[in-house]
Structure 1
Amino acid sequence: MTTDLVADRLAIADLLARYARAIDRCDAALLAGVWWPEATCDYGSGPVPAAAWAEATLVALRAMLRTQHFLGQSLIDIDGETATAETYCRAWHEAETDSGRVEMEVGGRYLDELLKRGGEWRISRRRYVMDWNRNGPSSCAWDGPLYGTLCRHGARAPDDPSMTGA
């Protein structure tokens, strides 16, 4: 494997990690940087412009209490300045509803097509595959002897400890 191929694989893995961070921190600027301007997303109901999808998704996520997108293994196939990646993900969400707090967890895969322009990789097309989901009352605990001393909690941008240094 050449040095350039290794560098491209690492750049794509970093891009995918920035996507997860952008979604969970609700960081619109960071999220905009993972897509090419003409990129499309299809989460199961047909392709839409990625910029419009991102805007609507951040509105929905900001209404939730917290989220965490965890990326698993990626199969990345690079062919010059184009690539495909299949990346496993688990997305956990906690939201307040009329009947109390609920947790929603989804397992699926991102099927991405990527382009390298000017030395930079970005997503040009994403299709999402949902493999499973689980929903129910929230069991999240924030106090007591086990969790009460863990005082550093994740937050939306710009208040997250990774951004504030707190």
Structure 2
Amino acid sequence: MPDAIEQFVTKARLAELVAEYANLIDWIDWDRLDAVFWPDATFDFGMFKGDFAAYRQFVAELEEGYARRLHMFGLPSITLTGERARIDAGCVIVCRTDDPAPGIDDTFWGRYLLTAEKRGEEWRLSGLTYMLNLFDRTERQVDDRGGPMNFGDGLSPRHPFALPR
């Protein structure tokens, strides 16, 4: 029974890392990347392949160009092998640019294939490969920001709805 409990706790922690990754990307909270990835993590998006330092620059330039970002991950499938793990998580990403007005929505359907390692007592992600299944681009016909809703424009750690860290 202790092994089953340990596996359950480990898988919960790994699922937390996936959720934390999606959250920090949406809120462009780059300071939180260090708690999610090991410094020697590797990245492969097809159009970008590199180490953690290069990824930091790539992802900031990519995501900060959007007015809105939403990364919605499905429940991850996690395979444990000792102190290593493989995580497969389907994802839908919707991003909005404001230019040209009233904006363009890009929607990506794909999967994140992640690896993770436990070092000491801590789990972090050690690799990320993104596989795109489908892409769609929609030019907005109207500006939807005039409505009575709270919109996810300008998310950052300084946003009034950002959770304190």
Does structure 1 retain, via aligned residues, the 8 Å contact 2:36–2:125?
yes
Structure 1: 5+ residue stretches without partners:
none
Query: After the TM superposition, which residues 6-155 of structure 1 pair with which residues of structure 2 at under 5 Å, given as runs?
Result: 6-45=8-47, 47-98=49-100, 100-138=102-140, 141-144=144-147, 148=148, 150-151=149-150, 153=152, 155=155
For residue 8 of structure 1, give the secondary structure of its aligned residue in structure 2. Answer: helix
**Would the alpha carbon gap of residues 110 and 6 (structure 1) be closer, same or farther in structure 2, given more than 3 Å must change?**
same
**Would the alpha carbon gap of residues 160 and 111 (structure 1) be closer, same or farther in structure 2, given more than 3 Å must change?**
farther
Amino acid at match of 2:138: G
Shift of 1:163: 2.1
Does structure 1 retain, via aligned residues, the 8 Å contact 2:104–2:138?
yes
Q: TM-score, normalised by structure 1?
A: 0.87
Runs of 4+ with >3 A deviation: 151-154
Shift of 1:100: 4.4
**TM-superposition CA deviations, 1:101-157 (whole Å, max 9, x none):** 10000010011111011221111111110000110113662334xxx1x34746212
Does structure 1 retain, via aligned residues, the 8 Å contact 2:69–2:152?
no
**TM-superposition CA deviations, 1:28-83 (whole Å, max 9, x none):** 11123211111010001363012321222112212211100000121100111000
Structure 2: 5+ residue stretches without partners:
none
Q: How many residues align?
A: 160
Amino acid at match of 2:27: R
